[in-house]
Structure formats: C-alpha cells, structure tokens
C-alpha cells in the first residue's frame, strides 16, 4: 500500500487538530524532568556539553523549565551534617526511612524530621543565588517511596509485579510500637498488630482474607487499622511540610501522589490501601490528604495522567484521576500532573491528546485546568525528529498556542 499523499496527510492531521484544538486555552507551563543518569556515581556530570545542547534544544521550543532530583540519602551519605552538593542532579534512592522515627532521636541523636529539616536548610543555603533570582521556582518535597507521599508498598526490587496488591509497610519495631499504643489508647490492645491474611506483593484481593469482598477491611478492627495506617502517612507529610515551610519560606511547595489505579473498581481498592490511601467504595481517602496539603499551601502533583496499561482486573485510572483532581479543586488547591511513560512509546499524538484533555478538561461545568505539567521521559529518543516534532506540538498546545500548517507536516 502506498503512503498517503501530502495533501491527504495534511487533511488527516488537520482533522485531528480540529478535534483536539486547544488554541486560546489557558497557558499551562511544561517542565521536563532531567534523567537520573546524567551524573556518575562520583557525583560528576557525565556529559556537560551534551546536556547543555539538550537544554538549549528544550529552550528553543519554549519549555518553561526543568525538574532536577536531589536525594538526602546521597547528599548526606558519608557523615551527619556533611552535605555533598556536587550531586546536584541526584540519583534515585530506592529506600526511605520508616515514618516511625520521625520523632525518635535514633539518627546519632537526631530525629528523622530534624535530619530532613537540616538537609532542606543546607539546600536553601547552597543554592541561595538561584532562590533569590527565582531560577528555582518550586520545590517538590519527597515524602515517601520514589519521592511520593505513600508507603513503599509495591517495590519492584522485592518482586512486586503489576497488578499485585502490594503489602502493608508497618512491621518495623517503631511503627509496630506506634500501632500498639494507638490500640491501647482506645482500650483494645489486641488490635495492636498488623493484619494477618493480607496477602503478599503479587496477591489479588480475592486471594486474601483481608481484601476479599467481605474481608476483614470492613470489620471494626480493619477500619481501625486502616485509619491509623493512613493517618500516620498524613501526619508524616504534615510534619515534613511544616519544616519545609520554615526552610524555604515563600517558595511554593509541591507534593506528589501516585495513581494506584489497578483494582480501583474492586470493593476494597487494595493497592491504594497498602500504599496508605484509605480510599474505597464507601470512603473518600483523598480528601484528608488534600486538607493537609491545603494547610501548607502545597500543590498536589498527581502521577496518573495517561492510561495505557490494559489488564483483566478492575481497572479505572480515569475514575481515580478525576476523583483526586476533584478533591483538590473542591479545596481550591493547585493541581499539577505528569506522565508515567514517554508518549512516543505510546502512540505519540494520541498519548499527548489524553494528557491535554486531562490538563484542560473541556466538558467541566466550571472551567478548570492544571497549574503545571511535568514531562517524564527525557532522553535521546525524545530528541529524534519524529518524536521531538510531536513533543513540540504538545508544548504549543499546552501553552494554548495554535499549531500551524508547517507544524503539522514538519
């Protein structure tokens, strides 16, 4: 079969553009997250000249900025209060400290919250010039696994695979002590143990006593445990964000949540529960999180912006996405979003169209739009001609600009 003629190709693209035309819509800034591998294990830039060229290329299409990770476990790896800021671009640290030592002085006389505060103060001092010139415009505070506000309930390095329900993360001696104290406080010390029969990382809800349809999560004990488990996560976020406000002053803060959308249509919402989001058919688990973020004037960055994984489970990423965004918008806090996978791997323009529709929903009764979009997946493949052309068009449409004839064909 011969390829379509340029005129036919143009007509097809024009039809697509009209169907997904965002000309004149609100300006949504686009930030690109830099990859973790741009430095080596000696905290040195691998290819400074190459990175500079890539940044210049991004600037040429009016990308609004970049995101850069820094990790406490890397920066303060050697000695207490000795910070290695040569690691300005960070490496992913797959572990996080238990929330149980937030206020326990077990880190050579320091609590975990004190450690985080001193780390944030050091960052603010080290990069004071960038803060003063507003080159650093926002700080996203990591509050759990992979920098997200959640328990590390589904670690791939421990064997978890999609769509496993994950496991509760409250078995260390500190959190077990906290649970025991919470149970004693209500006069039911026998409830001071984590659930039995909650399955393993790759279980399905029906295979467990806790998450099955009439499972223990519905019982008085189950409700007590899940409320304690989720509230401990929220309290952890509250403590760290309070210190972040002290360290960074009026610099806007952001907190990332992960969209645990598999099994969302099941009764128990097991993956959300093990992650610390007490959300199921009869309870909105995101409103309490949003209330905590609102107290600190923090943006909610929700990582569930495009949905492509198909699996024979009770999956509804779309429903979860709008539940979380509506909870945030009802509380009048800003919402940002980001993609989970590079769009060029997922049918290019269709993937971008879904991200745009979520960023600027056109069928809402009240006009709404996200405050920013973070693009994850920056690499050499994105800069290839076809992929980069799609990305350039995406940035234009996020900015509310018209996509012209030459943009469609080039």
Question: Using the 8-state DSSP alphabet, how is residue 86 labeled?
Answer: T
* 76 is an active site residue: no
- 107: tokens are 């880190």
Distance CA(245)–CA(123), nearest Å, equals 13
Buried b vs exposed e over 168-181: b needs ≥16 C-beta within 10 Å?
A: bbbeeebbeebbee
* 338 is an active site residue: yes
CA nearest to 111, candidates 98, 122, 121, 124: 98
CA nearest to 396, candidates 65, 12, 22: 22
Q: In whole angstroms, what separates CA 245 from the centre of its chain?
A: 20
Length of the chain counted residue by residue: 410
Residue from 148, 216, 272, 306 carrying the catalytic annotation: 148
Distance CA(2)–CA(274), nearest Å, equals 52
Buried b vs exposed e over 81-99: b needs ≥16 C-beta within 10 Å?
A: eebeeebbbbbebeebbbb
Q: For 60, phi and psi rounded to 5 degrees? A: -65, -20
- 233: tokens are 């996560």
Residue from 118, 216, 306, 338 carrying the catalytic annotation: 338
Question: Using the 8-state DSSP alphabet, how is residue 79 labeled?
Answer: B
Q: Residue 344's CB: how many other CB atoms inside 10 A?
A: 20
- 202: tokens are 């790759």
Q: If 0-12 CB within 10 Å is exposed, 13-18 middle and 19+ buried, where does residue 330 land?
A: exposed
Question: Using the 8-state DSSP alphabet, how is residue 191 labeled?
Answer: G
Distance CA(190)–CA(201), nearest Å, equals 26
Query: Pseudo-torsion of CA 322, 327, 330, 333, nearest 10°?
Result: -100
Distance CA(35)–CA(92), nearest Å, equals 10
Tell me if 354 sits within 8 A of 306, measured CB to CB.
yes
Please write down the long-range contacts of 125-134, taking CB distance under 8 Å and 24 or more positions apart. Answer: 126/83, 126/85, 131/248, 131/251
Q: Active-site positions?
A: 148, 338
């Amino acid at each position: 079969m011969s390829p379509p003629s340029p005129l036919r190709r143009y007509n097809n693209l024009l039809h697509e553009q009209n169907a997904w035309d965002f000309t004149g819509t609100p300006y949504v800034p686009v930030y690109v997250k830099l990859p973790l591998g741009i430095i080596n294990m000696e905290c040195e830039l691998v290819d400074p000249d190459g990175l500079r060229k890539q940044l210049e290329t991004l600037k040429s299409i009016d990308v609004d900025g970049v995101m850069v990770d820094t990790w406490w476990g890397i920066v303060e790896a050697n000695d207490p209060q000795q910070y290695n800021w040569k690691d300005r671009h960070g490496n992913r640290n797959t572990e996080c400290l238990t929330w149980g030592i937030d206020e326990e002085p077990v880190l050579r006389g320091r609590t975990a919250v004190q450690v985080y505060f001193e780390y944030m103060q050091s960052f603010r001092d080290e990069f004071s010039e960038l803060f003063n010139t507003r080159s650093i415009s926002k700080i996203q505070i990591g509050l759990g696994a992979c920098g997200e506000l959640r328990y590390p309930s589904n670690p791939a390095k421990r064997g978890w695979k999609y769509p496993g329900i994950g496991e509760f993360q409250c078995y260390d001696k500190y959190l077990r002590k906290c649970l025991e104290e919470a149970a004693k406080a209500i006069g039911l010390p026998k409830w001071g143990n984590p659930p039995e029969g909650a399955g393993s990382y790759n279980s399905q809800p029906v295979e467990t006593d806790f998450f099955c349809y009439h499972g223990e999560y519905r019982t008085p004990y189950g409700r007590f445990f899940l409320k304690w488990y989720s509230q401990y996560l929220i309290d952890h976020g509250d403590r760290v964000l309070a210190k972040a406000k002290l360290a960074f002053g009026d610099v806007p803060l952001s907190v990332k949540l992960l969209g645990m959308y598999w099994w969302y249509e099941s009764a128990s919402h097991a993956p959300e529960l093990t992650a610390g989001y007490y959300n199921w058919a009869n309870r909105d688990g995101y409103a309490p999180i949003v209330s905590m973020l609102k107290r600190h004037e923090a943006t909610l960055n929700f990582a569930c912006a495009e949905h492509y994984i198909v699996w024979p489970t009770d999956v509804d990423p779309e429903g979860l996405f709008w539940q979380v965004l509506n909870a945030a918008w009802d509380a009048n806090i800003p919402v940002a979003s980001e993609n989970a996978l590079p769009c060029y791997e997922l049918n290019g323009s269709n993937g971008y169209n879904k991200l745009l529709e979520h960023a600027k929903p056109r069928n809402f009764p009240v006009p709404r739009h996200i405050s920013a979009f973070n693009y994850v997946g920056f690499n050499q493949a994105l800069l290839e001609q076809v992929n980069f052309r799609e990305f350039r068009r995406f940035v234009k449409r996020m900015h509310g600009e018209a996509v012209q004839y030459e943009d469609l064909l080039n």
